[in-house]
Structure 1
Amino acid sequence: MNRYVAGIRQYGTHRSLTGQRVPRRPRTGPLGLDAIIVPGTRPAAYLDHAVTLARAAKCSLVILCSHYLDGREVKEYLDARSFSGAIVIQLPAGYAHPLFDFRGLLAIKDQLPPACGSHVTDLSMKRNVGLVLAKMLGWRRVFFLDDDIRDISYPDLQRTVDMLRSFSAAGMWITDFPDNSIVCHANRVTGGSQDVFVSGAALAVDCQGDIDFFPDIYNEDWLFFFDAASKGELGNSYLNATQLYYYPFANAERAAWQEFGDALAEGLYALLHLRRDVGQATSEYWGKFLEARRNFLETALSRVKQAPPDMQDEITASLQSALKSLSDITPDLCARYVEAWRQDLKSWKQRWAGIRKMPSVDAALLELGLETTPAHNLKRILHPQDRAMLLRTSGQVAIPKFDTLSEMADRYSAQRLDSPVHDEKRIALARDHTQHRRQSQVDEVIAVVHMTVLYCQLRVIRIFSLRRLST
């Protein structure tokens, strides 16, 4: 019992909870990937990597849009990339559907710390929609890819997907920039031992059989594959991917918002290290873990002077914000949240088993109360030179007065730019240096004016040539 209590702590790494069997050369050939699913929020240009991977994998691409990502903008971008194998869905604000009725978690949502409501995200809903769409379309294997993930080669993607021979889900290793919570970033920066873990940002999933859902909470991906990890069915290819850099300590309130989900997930995975199941996540257990969590945060705070000086104040604010949020989290709240989550999971699996296969994408989206963004007319995507021609109109052309430009050059050449020297004690060497520097400035001005004259002459010649061709 004492060993068990001593093991209740925040773990710096969870590597031992994932499988590492990466197929080298599968005898039966590579597994097929049906779709890459992107829960997008950033502008369309951020989808470039997803498009490249989907093209290489010859699979469908599902893009669920909201926030700064508009479905029409995505369609224009995909048309410009000549990519037609995409399903673009604009997720309405406040979207709901009976399949995603998690009433147990919804009932307890108002009892969470106030900071949990400071940031609204639809990431879990997008991922759940992606799962259901895969089920309706008969897809076996999908790959979740966030729009800020880069540097995944197609061979590495395929090797990660091939791990689904042995695992129900398999992720990649996002170490640069590390995929961590804010307080875990603070732990690393202040000298603590901090690893990364499998993430929903780059995750292959086998959609056959029972499958969990993504709860609406920070670290929703850790809860999604918790059962897989507990059964030894969570794989880690240890193939590297890159997350776009951001400064994690810019907003201390985000650390407070993350705290409940981060503490809950870390506590659940600490149970797995102790070879205990989720049924032992009792109020007594959470009381001990929350104490260990507070010690973890306070220890990082005590080391803040080891961080770069220009980051120390913001790291301190983030850790203090997390500690304040932690003080609102009770052992009973954690136990009741886990109980509600497990009850909703049972109901979800019943609904999942009853999802019918649909004859088409449109039929599946209709069933979900969604629709795909209509395609644009490829004939209206113009070459830049053609767009420029449309802007030209007939009419009078103003010809620059070259004599005026010449006069400008002469005037700048003759102008004395140096001001009188009032300090009579200045040594002659300094005076000569100043005059030389100012004469150089005059020479530069003259050169710029002469180049301007030459540029204007060339533009006039081009304008007259174009007008002659148009007539």
Structure 2
Amino acid sequence: MTASCAPTAHSPLLRKVVPGPRMLARLDAIVVPSGRSASRCEHAAELARELDCVLLVLASRDSLGTEIRAAIGQHDRGNQYIVDVPPDLGERLPQLATTDLLAGEGFHRKTDVSAKRNLGLALTYMARLGRILFLDDDIRIPETADLRRAAWLLRTHDAVGMRVEGYPDNSVVCHANRETGGRQGTFVGAGALAVGSDRVNSFFPEIYNEDWFFLLDHSTLLPVAVTGVAVQDRFDPFDDPDRARGQEFGDLLAEGLFAILDRGGRIRHADIAYWRWFIEQRRRFIDGILERLELNAMPGSEQIAAALLAARGQLDEHVSPELCRHYLDAWRHDLGTWATFRANLPLGLPIGSAAELFDLPVSTSAFGGGFEREGTHAWLPW
């Protein structure tokens, strides 16, 4: 292998299924980890109304619960739940060794999307909403029937991704590869991912490509299918070099692990020697993009170069084979931590009552549009 971003996007690992016209099932909930303006949640609300399923919005950053309620209230059938996620959400979930390791290495992640998705997993599991869809607020699903097909596939698969159209869903480095003429595919991700919350005993670590890690167990990829289409809104991946810098370690790890799986290997084969070799391949991959960029002047080339140099600097200065190995050891430990946490969660609770156990108020029209909360509980299952 000569490149860390495989042009095939690891697609042979996925089970491509086209369900028949009668292979449809009910979707129980749509979970939106919202961080943008309230209007971005309208599409998810429309889907939830059409599918008659629960809508759970986990709001933070530029997303405010009161504004979301005003924006999507006309779509409510009494099953909308909006949680204003506090900055300390991670402290209300199990303490993860992977988070502590990266914080100690200076790899603090600015986004809280992993914590919100983990919260979504916990709340829907407690509420016995087994077939859920994670949907980012910048992704649209043109055909609701695709979601019913994905729900049907969850009978035999742990997760079902959707083929992303519109703007490609890639890292900054892989976007640069495509922009400079390199072959580049995409893989399924949590931006539009149906999950069996009652089947999957996995979690989203605080790292870029957290959804790729979510789809793994201790040795290989979980049973994952792909069906249907999702459309990603366009954005500028090169507007901030820090984005590429923050993605580099997660991109390296995920691409390295999936390169092993592509060849029929197992995660245990990712030893120190492998990471030493793969880091060098990643370095050559980025250098090759920079060389093409230098030979072919194009609009925005300075921004692209700045992003690539930021990623290359992170790789050279902060990433080592030993760190890669230590991270995987911590991740395996966290799989056990999350399994223990999940096993101790009470089941059969309404979403509001489940959120209350994490000391989180829930806005729901089922209680007059106010906040469903009866008091603060110190009950924490971990």
Q: TM-score, normalised by structure 1?
A: 0.74
Structure 2, unaligned runs of 5 or more: 370-382
2:300 maps to 311
Q: Distance in 2 between matches of 1:151 and 1:302?
A: 38
Structure 1 residues 154 and 267: alpha-carbon distance in aligned structure 2, compared to 1, 3 A threshold: same
Structure 1 residues 63 and 271: alpha-carbon distance in aligned structure 2, compared to 1, 3 A threshold: same
Q: 1:7 offset after TM fit, Å?
A: 7.6
Which letter does structure 2 place at the counterpart of 1:105?
T
2:51 maps to 57
> Does structure 2 retain, via aligned residues, the 8 Å contact 1:259–1:326?
yes
Structure 1 residues 323 and 7: alpha-carbon distance in aligned structure 2, compared to 1, 3 A threshold: closer
Task: Kindly indicate whether residue 16 of structure 2 is the aligned counterpart of residue 20 of structure 1.
Answer: yes
Q: Which residues in structure 2 correspond to 1:97-246 (within 5 Å)?
A: 97=91, 99-102=93-96, 104-112=97-105, 114=106, 116-117=107-108, 119-227=109-217, 230-231=220-221, 233-237=223-227, 239-246=228-235
Task: Give the one of 253, 257, 263 matched to 1:274.
Answer: 263
1:390 maps to none
Structure 1 residues 298 and 317: alpha-carbon distance in aligned structure 2, compared to 1, 3 A threshold: same
> Does structure 1 retain, via aligned residues, the 8 Å contact 2:204–2:211?
yes
Higher relative contact order (CA 8 A, sep 6+): 2
Which letter does structure 1 place at the counterpart of 2:113?
L
2:78 maps to 84
Larger helix fraction of residues: 1
Q: Distance in 1 between matches of 2:246 and 2:340?
A: 31
Per-residue CA shift, 1:370-396, capped at 9, x if unaligned? 110265978xxxxxxxxxxxxxxxxxx
Q: Distance in 1 between matches of 2:297 and 2:134?
A: 35
> Does structure 2 retain, via aligned residues, the 8 Å contact 1:51–1:83?
no
Q: CA RMSD in A?
A: 2.1
- What SS does the aligned partner of 2:58 have? strand
Per-residue CA shift, 1:141-169, capped at 9, x if unaligned? 10000000024311122222222133110
Larger strand fraction of residues: 2
Q: 1:16 offset after TM fit, Å?
A: 0.6
Task: Give the one of 33, 36, 48 matched to 1:39.
Answer: 33
1:401 maps to none
> Does structure 2 retain, via aligned residues, the 8 Å contact 1:39–1:127?
yes
- What SS does the aligned partner of 1:38 have? strand
> Does structure 2 retain, via aligned residues, the 8 Å contact 1:17–1:232?
no
Q: Distance in 2 between matches of 1:50 and 1:71?
A: 15
- What SS does the aligned partner of 2:146 have? helix
Aligned pair count?
366
Structure 1 residues 98 and 165: alpha-carbon distance in aligned structure 2, compared to 1, 3 A threshold: same
Which letter does structure 1 place at the counterpart of 2:55?
L
Q: Which residues in structure 2 correspond to 1:315-326 (within 5 Å)?
A: 315-326=304-315
Q: Which residues in structure 2 correspond to 1:254-273 (within 5 Å)?
A: 254-273=243-262
Q: Distance in 2 between matches of 1:99 and 1:364?
A: 13
Q: Which residues in structure 2 correspond to 1:311-460 (within 5 Å)?
A: 311-327=300-316, 328-373=318-363, 375=365
Structure 1 residues 158 and 308: alpha-carbon distance in aligned structure 2, compared to 1, 3 A threshold: farther
Per-residue CA shift, 1:268-324, capped at 9, x if unaligned? 111101222111211111101111111111111111146662211111111111100
Q: Distance in 1 between matches of 2:222 and 2:100?
A: 31
Q: Distance in 2 between matches of 1:93 and 1:312?
A: 36
- What SS does the aligned partner of 1:230 have? coil
> Does structure 2 retain, via aligned residues, the 8 Å contact 1:134–1:207?
yes
Q: 1:83 offset after TM fit, Å?
A: 4.7
Structure of larger gyration radius:
1
Q: 1:366 offset after TM fit, Å?
A: 1.5
> Does structure 2 retain, via aligned residues, the 8 Å contact 1:210–1:349?
no
Structure 1 residues 9 and 81: alpha-carbon distance in aligned structure 2, compared to 1, 3 A threshold: closer
1:293 maps to 282
Structure 1 residues 240 and 288: alpha-carbon distance in aligned structure 2, compared to 1, 3 A threshold: same
- What SS does the aligned partner of 2:238 have? coil
Q: Identity over aligned residues, as a percent?
A: 35
> Does structure 2 retain, via aligned residues, the 8 Å contact 1:173–1:241?
yes
Q: Distance in 2 between matches of 1:156 and 1:20?
A: 13
Which letter does structure 2 place at the counterpart of 1:109?
L
- What SS does the aligned partner of 2:264 have? coil
- What SS does the aligned partner of 2:167 have? coil
Q: Distance in 2 between matches of 1:247 and 1:153?
A: 26
Structure 1 residues 229 and 155: alpha-carbon distance in aligned structure 2, compared to 1, 3 A threshold: farther
> Does structure 2 retain, via aligned residues, the 8 Å contact 1:40–1:65?
yes
Structure 1 residues 187 and 229: alpha-carbon distance in aligned structure 2, compared to 1, 3 A threshold: farther
Structure 1, unaligned runs of 5 or more: 1-5, 379-471
Which letter does structure 1 place at the counterpart of 2:6?
Y
Which letter does structure 2 place at the counterpart of 1:73?
E
Q: 1:230 offset after TM fit, Å?
A: 2.6
Q: TM-score, normalised by structure 2?
A: 0.90
Per-residue CA shift, 1:106-129, capped at 9, x if unaligned? 3312343x4x33x51110010000
2:238 maps to 249
Task: Kindly indicate whether residue 1 of structure 2 is the aligned counterpart of residue 11 of structure 1.
Answer: no
Q: Distance in 1 between matches of 2:5 and 2:40?
A: 34
Structure 1 residues 243 and 231: alpha-carbon distance in aligned structure 2, compared to 1, 3 A threshold: closer
Q: Distance in 2 between matches of 1:208 and 1:151?
A: 24
Structure 1 residues 43 and 98: alpha-carbon distance in aligned structure 2, compared to 1, 3 A threshold: closer
Q: Distance in 2 between matches of 1:374 and 1:170?
A: 28
Structure 1 residues 350 and 75: alpha-carbon distance in aligned structure 2, compared to 1, 3 A threshold: same
